[in-house]
Amino acid sequence: MLGSVLARPCLGQDGQFLRDLQQGKFKPDRVHTADQYSFVFESMLYEIDLNQDGTQEGIIFEQRDGESWIVLYNSQGRKIGDFKFTITGRYAAPVLLRLRVLGPQVSVLAIAFKEGENFYTNFSNTIRWYFLLIEGLQLQEMYLIPGPLMAEEHLNFQRRYFRRGSELQFKDLNQDGILDIVVGYRSIRRAYIYRQHRLEPL
């Protein structure tokens, strides 16, 4: 967790300042007292080795004009990609991250994503799987692929999380030496077979 603050000169939606703030790019000679800040700004920075090279990449989930994005940075703090989630509402956020190597130079970051609250339809949050497919060791080919809803799993307006025992498994279904993804709930199974640049529903 990176707790930081937003200064008064940046109330005009200075996007670059916010990105620098989230990445922790603070100049050591800039010192501010508490009364110089307008409100507290908080961001979540995840550090994880996405390509199994022994160094930690950075992941930030952020909001842009009401849309939810995942932003990725390399180990030097340079932005290497960003992806937009397809359906989001108020308070959309990740609830679970799981990284798995599928095969030689192929990994996937499975993201259980709370799609947010929609008060106008009186619906509670739904949780959907997203799969960030990573090909190669240089992090040059990445694809965010929407997966299935987690059956009957949701966060209601009273902030109570209802878990229904969804399972995420990795199996080599077509015997090609690369693991595939299986999402299950009770007797229901949804499988995704790895193909180059994509995951194909089975």
Residue 19, domain member (yes or no): no
Q: Report pLDDT digits (tens) over 56-66.
A: 999 999 888 87
pTM, full prediction: 0.71
The H or E element that residue 190 is part of is strand 188-195
CA terminus-to-terminus distance, the chain: 38
Residue 6, domain member (yes or no): no
In the numeric block, which tokens belong to residue 199? 């995951």
Residue 1, domain member (yes or no): no
Residue 32, domain member (yes or no): no
Q: Report pLDDT digits (tens) over 87-141.
A: 777 778 888 889 999 998 899 999 988 877 665 544 555 778 999 999 988 888 9
Q: How many domains does the chain have?
A: 1
In the numeric block, which tokens belong to residue 101? 């190597």
By residue range, what is the domain housing residue 94?
44-201
Residue 125, domain member (yes or no): yes
Residue 24, domain member (yes or no): no
Residue 98, domain member (yes or no): yes
- By three-state DSSP, how is residue 162 classified? strand
As a whole number of angstroms, the distance between CA 124 and CA 116 comes to 8
Residue 37, domain member (yes or no): no
Q: How far is CA 190 from the centre of its chain?
A: 21
- Contact of 166 with 175, CB cutoff 8 Å: no
